[in-house]
Amino acid sequence: MSNFFKYFFATILGVIVSTLLMVFILVGIIASGDKEVKIDENSILVLELNRPIVERVVEDPFEEAFASLSGKPTPEGLNRILKNIDKAKKDPKIVGIYLESGRLNAGYATIEEIRNALIDFKESGKFIYSFAPIYSQKAYYLATAADKIYLNPSGMLEFKGLFAQRTFFKGTLDKIGVEMQIFKHGKFKSAVEPFIREEMSEPARLQTETYINSMWHHLVAKIADQRDISVDNLQELANDMPMFREQDQLVAAGLIDGLKYKDEVITELKELTDTPDDEDLESVTLKKYAKVFVAGENKGLAKDKIAVIYAEGEIDGANPNEGIRSEKISKTIRKARRDEKIKAIVFRINSPGGSALGSEIIWREVKLARETKPVIVSMGDLAASGGYYIACEADTIVAHPTTLTGSIGIFGMIPNTAGLMKKIGISFDGVKTNKFADMPSINRPFTKEERALLQNYIELGYQNFIQRCADGRDTSTDAIDKIGQGRVWSGENAVGINLVDILGGVNDAIDIAAEKSGLEKYRIVELPEIPDPLQEFIKELTGEAKMFVGKSLMGDEYKYLETIENLKNGSQIQARIPYNLEVN
Q: What distance in Å separates the CA atoms of residue 426 and residue 302, rounded to the nearest whole number?
A: 64
Residue 473's identity, in one-letter code, is: R
Rounded to 10 degrees, what is the CA torsion of 416, 420, 425, 427?
Answer: 0
| Longest distance between any two alpha carbons in the chain, whole Å | 87
Residue 140's identity, in one-letter code, is: Y
Per the residue annotation, which of 136, 190, 385, 571 is the catalytic one? 385
128, 94 in Cβ contact below 8 A? no
User: Cβ of 319: how many Cβ atoms within 10 Å?
Assistant: 12
Q: What distance in Å separates the CA atoms of residue 557 and residue 426, rounded to the nearest whole number?
A: 12
Closest C-alpha among 345, 342, 347, 422 to residue 379 = 347
522, 514 in Cβ contact below 8 A? yes
Residue 109 Cα to chain centre, angstroms: 9
Buried-state track 192-211, b at ≥16 Cβ within 10 A, e below 16: bbbbbeeebeebbeebbeeb
Q: How many helices (H) and strands (E) does the chain have?
A: 22, 22
Q: What distance in Å separates the CA atoms of residue 219 and residue 238, rounded to the nearest whole number?
A: 12
The bridge status of strand 283-285 relative to strand 43-48 is: parallel
Is 189 assigned a catalytic role? yes
64, 95 in Cβ contact below 8 A? no
Per the residue annotation, which of 189, 260, 343, 373 is the catalytic one? 189
Q: What distance in Å separates the CA atoms of residue 201 and residue 215, rounded to the nearest whole number?
A: 21
Closest C-alpha among 52, 84, 46, 47 to residue 67 = 52
List of residues 6+ apart from 155 with CB closer than 8 A: 132, 133, 134, 135, 247, 259
Cα distances (angstroms) measured from residue 154 to each of 132, 147, 256? 11, 22, 14
Residue 400's identity, in one-letter code, is: H
User: Cβ of 576: how many Cβ atoms within 10 Å?
Assistant: 28
Closest C-alpha among 250, 48, 248, 255 to residue 132 = 48
DSSP secondary structure string, 408-464? --EEEEEEE-HHHHHHTT-------SSTTTT-S-SSSPPPHHHHHHHHHHHHHHHHH
Q: What distance in Å separates the CA atoms of residue 62 and residue 537, rounded to the nearest whole number?
A: 7
Q: What distance in Å separates the CA atoms of residue 139 and residue 85, rounded to the nearest whole number?
A: 17
List of residues 6+ apart from 433 with CB closer than 8 A: none
Is 214 assigned a catalytic role? no
195, 170 in Cβ contact below 8 A? yes
Q: What SS3 state is found at 527?
A: strand
Where in the sequence numbering do the catalytic residues fall? Answer: 189, 385
